[in-house]
Structure 1
Amino acid sequence: MTHTLEALKSGELIGTKRLKLACGLKTFPEAILSLVDTLEILDLSDNQLTELPDSISKLKHLKIIFFARNNFTKFPKILKEFPVLNMIGFKSNQIQTVPENVFPPKLNWLILTDNKIKKLPKSIGDCGLLQKCALAGNQIEELPPEMANCLNLELIRISANKLKSIPKWLFELPKLSWVAFGGNPAARQIPLNTDFESFQWEDFTIKEQLGEGASGFISKAHWISKKEDIAVKIFKGDVTSDGLPEDEMGISIAAGAHDNLISVLGKIKNHPEKKSGLIMRLISPTYINLGNPPNFKTCTRDVFDETSVFNGDELLKIAKSIASVCSQLHSKGINHGDLYAHNILVNKTAECLLGDFGAASFYDVNSDLAHNIERIEVRAYTCLLEDVLGLVSENEMSNELRNKWQKLIADCRVTDVKSRIGFSEVLEVLEGF
């Protein structure tokens, strides 16, 4: 819900915990300080702000603050003064400078996507509670080595920057599970599949939109010459919180065919707005999302509907399917980067499809980093297993079998990344269940 400045000034919002204002603000409204006793979430996205007054530090109860699509050029130092502030978002501003010692002590979720940042402060290494860090679409040339001290970091997006090298310490962080690093000079370029067929835009009749993601729109369409319905994904072309749409498109093609991947049938050519697009198999409406994206409270972990219930056989079928597709991806040097239940479609017989390559990165399978890159994703996989195992009721599984699952999860998330097993070994273990 978006509030009005008039309602704020009149006093009718006194007592609110969440405030959202989007009304062309050029200066911070001091009237917000009237909410000093209760305000926890402040969203001033879609304004024209360039700085924050020191007086904002009076809002001591603030936990979450958003300034997406404003005109900040420098990360505000005053934010370090907030004792319980844990989530900060400055997506799509003009930030060039992030000074030293600007982060609050409880920071665990930082969003600086789509800015002009060239360098991160060394003091980011002091953010011991940092779990989620979105840095895609900047001009960062290197990550400060002090960031190796962020031992609770679980998700990082560093795609579409100017990294000259990808540091080894990144893939040694004990809890890292979801990482996107494509679109950098240091990342391996996605091989161009010149044999992949393109089809004329005029050969498709768009019916209804099926969904919208960060990178594009998916619509149901009729393929006129083939007389069949398919799905078409048209990419927006802008950098997303995960990376570059062209990388997603290239990796979707490079992933190849697999029973648990949505089949890519071809590319679109001659789009009237010169946009890129993929033609994909139309998925039956009997498939639904296995989970829902993380919320403010869970940060890095998916949330599930109360109606989501599985038995042991269904868990095993899902586990084998996703391990199999991940094994294929990593054999091709593809890191999915967003291995989550909310990116998996499942039907009533537990057949599942992994989708959304928006955070995927391509890497050299013969590189020194390859072993650890796969094992970082293995940790994401075991988070998925743990979540779905939690949806299996006790009377649906013996204690002995549940202990087997818990041992697999524990073995795949050991602190020493290189000691974890890979996806092919995971499949071998699952054959014994």
Structure 2
Amino acid sequence: MGNSALKAHLETAQKTGVFQLTGKGLSEFPEDLQKLASNLRTIDLSSNKIEILTPVIGKFSVLKSLSLNNNKLTTLPEELCKLKKLDTLHLNGNQLRQLPAGFGQLSALKTLSLSGNQLRTVPTQLCSLRHLDVVDLSKNQIQSVPDAVEELQAIELNLNQNQISQISVQISHCPRLKVLRLEENCLELSMLPQSILSDSQISLLAVEGNLFEIKKLRELEGYDKYMERFTATKKKFA
């Protein structure tokens, strides 16, 4: 892509606070974007070939939404964690194995999508994020859900299409968790904590495609309590 095209995009971004350049084969974060570090609220560089997110990202102090879906990122810089206004972060379809240590400092984050990466665990940094609503960790290589998850503030947690065979009973203590998606994992029925049914806030539990028949779920103690929550929620949205 020529410089003049990039320049036109930058000029538009300066007026709108939005920079969107998707599917252009970019191999790096456009250096010229730095000039707009103080007024960009949205950056979308999805479907490019970016391998490294430059530490400069930490200077985008008013950034609210960052989308880097379908790139070639293997790591994220610690500087990303300085973005105190960031509320939406989309990183689907990269090659991330972990999140920066300081990720829990992204205090405004509400929506986080990390579907289709190479995470092996649920990142415990997520438990420090007080405003998190939706976390998508589907299509990774996660094998278990740790005890620390009880601190997670998310309303929806998507763990579909992982390799999960173990779930900490602490997941029942998540204060705001209403939707838990565990489809297409490696769960035996005995490994599904019954407290999710009997003693949690969860009103939608999706467990199709595991190592048990769904009808067996209905025989578990606590299923009636779960159905009460499920039905009450349905009525609310009907």
Q: Same fold (TM over 0.5)?
A: yes
Letter in 2 for 1:365: R
* Unaligned residue ranges in structure 2 (runs of 5+): 190-196, 209-213
Shift of 1:50: 1.6
Q: What do the CA deviations read for 1:200-223 (whole angstroms, capped 9, x no partner)?
A: xxxxxxxxxxxxxxxxxxxxxxxx
What are the within-5 Å matches in structure 2 for residues 123-202 of structure 1? 123-151=125-153, 153-186=154-187, 188=189
Give the 3 Å change call, closer, same or farther, for CA 52–187 of structure 1 in structure 2: same
Give 1:1-400 correspondences, 5 Å limit.
4-8=5-9, 11-22=11-22, 23-103=24-104, 104-151=106-153, 153-186=154-187, 188=189, 337=204, 361=208, 362=214, 364-367=217-220, 370=223, 373-374=226-227, 377-378=230-231, 380-381=233-234, 383-385=236-238
Q: Is the 8 A contact 2:178 2:203 kept in 1?
A: no
Asked if the contact 1:171–1:376 (Cα under 8 Å) also holds between the matched residues in 2, the reply is: no
For residues 76 and 378 of structure 1, the distance between their equivalents in structure 2, rounded to whole angstroms, comes to 44
RMSD: 2.8
Q: 1:379 to 1:45 in 2, by over 3 A?
A: farther
Identity of aligned residues (%): 21
**What is the number of equivalent residue pairs in this alignment?**
216
Residue 167 of structure 1: how far off its partner (Å): 2.9
State the structure with more CA Rg.
Answer: 1
What amino acid does structure 2 have at the position aligned with 1:111?
A: S
Change (3 A) 1:373 1:27: farther
What is the distance in 2 between the residues matched to 1:56 and 1:88?
A: 13
More strand by share: 1
Cα distance between partner residues in 1 of 2:52 and 2:37:
19
Equivalent-residue separation in structure 2 for 1:47 and 1:64 (angstroms): 17
After superposition, what is the alpha-carbon deviation per residue over 1:213-262, rounded to whole angstroms, capped at 9, x for unaligned?
Answer: xxxxxxxxxxxxxxxxxxxxxxxxxxxxxxxxxxxxxxxxxxxxxxxxxx
**Alpha-carbon distance between aligned partners in 2 of 1:165 and 1:370, rounded to the nearest angstrom:** 20
Where 1:101 maps in the other structure, the secondary structure is helix
3-state SS in 1 of match to 2:171 = helix
In structure 2, the CA distance between the partners of 1:184 and 1:373, relative to structure 1 (3 Å rule), is farther
2:19 partner amino acid: L
SS in 2 for 1:24: coil
Partners of 1:369 and 1:18 in 2: CA distance: 48
One-letter amino acid matched to 1:68: N
What is the alpha-carbon distance in structure 1 between the residues aligned to residue 227 and residue 38 of structure 2?
A: 47
Unaligned runs of 5+ in 1: 189-329, 339-358, 386-433
SS of the residue aligned with 1:15?
helix
